[in-house]
Amino acid sequence: MPRPKSTPVFYRVAASLLTTSDKIEVLGENSSGEVECILHFANDEIWVGVGSDHTDRKLETIGVAVSKQMCAKPISKEVWPFADVATHWDALILRSFAQIDGERRLYQEGAVASIRAPQELVRLYAGNDRLPPGTSMFCGTLPALGGIAPASMFEMEIEDPVLRRKLVHRYRIETLPQEE
């Protein structure tokens, strides 16, 4: 896969791909999830959620933007006001689990401190400190432990060890047959 000319790259996807469902359908066996913090701008405030930038990995070798457009983007129903976590953002922990060959495995884990700060991402994208109303932004992911792999179930969470709480969402991946 070719590297982007610069980072970060802001790939746009249809808002209709965001879902709080506990199930998504994908074409073929070449997709996988990846846990990310999400920023939502609504009611003049930034909200934090957790989501999966589920992506078709086969198509990713051809074009990243189209590969991201091919899959639903599961997100948590619950969100936190960004103001509640802004002062201890770097303490937040992202984690995901994948069910692979019937076994639940830790798939990703790490502090959000290893990802660009949300305020920086918003400034780079919007040119100021505010996202356009109705915008949701995935903030980047962590490496997959043991490499990227398709799964039948994907669980994701963001943990706030300071306020002792978590946002959690899980979803099943149903594979549609791919006729060639």
What is residue 5's predicted lDDT score, i.e. its pLDDT? 60
Calculate the alpha carbon distances from 53 to 19, 106, 123, 141 in Å: 11, 17, 21, 9
Asked if the structure places residue 149 within a domain, the reply is: yes
Alpha-carbon distance of 71 to 120, in angstroms, equals 27
Strand, coil or helix: what is 141? Answer: coil
Q: How many domains does the chain have?
A: 1
Strand, coil or helix: what is 112? Answer: helix
CATH code of residue 110: 3.90.850.10
Residue-number span of the structural domain to which 127 is assigned: 35-176
Burial of 125 (0-12, 13-18, 19+ CB in 10 A): middle
Asked if the structure places residue 5 within a domain, the reply is: no
Asked if the structure places residue 48 within a domain, the reply is: yes
Calculate the alpha carbon distances from 8 to 42, 81, 135, 146 in Å: 23, 24, 17, 24
Asked if the structure places residue 138 within a domain, the reply is: yes
Nearest Cα to Cα of residue 173 among 41, 28, 16: 28
Asked if the structure places residue 4 within a domain, the reply is: no
For every residue of 59-110, DSSP letters joined together read HHTT-HHHHHHTS-EEB-S--EEHHHHGGGGGG-EEEEEEEETTEEEEEEEE
Mean pLDDT by 10 residues, the chain (180 residues): 67 93 94 96 93 90 83 97 97 97 96 94 89 91 94 97 98 89
Q: What is the pTM of this model?
A: 0.91
Asked if the structure places residue 3 within a domain, the reply is: no
State both tokens at 125: 């994208």
What is residue 175's predicted lDDT score, i.e. its pLDDT? 93
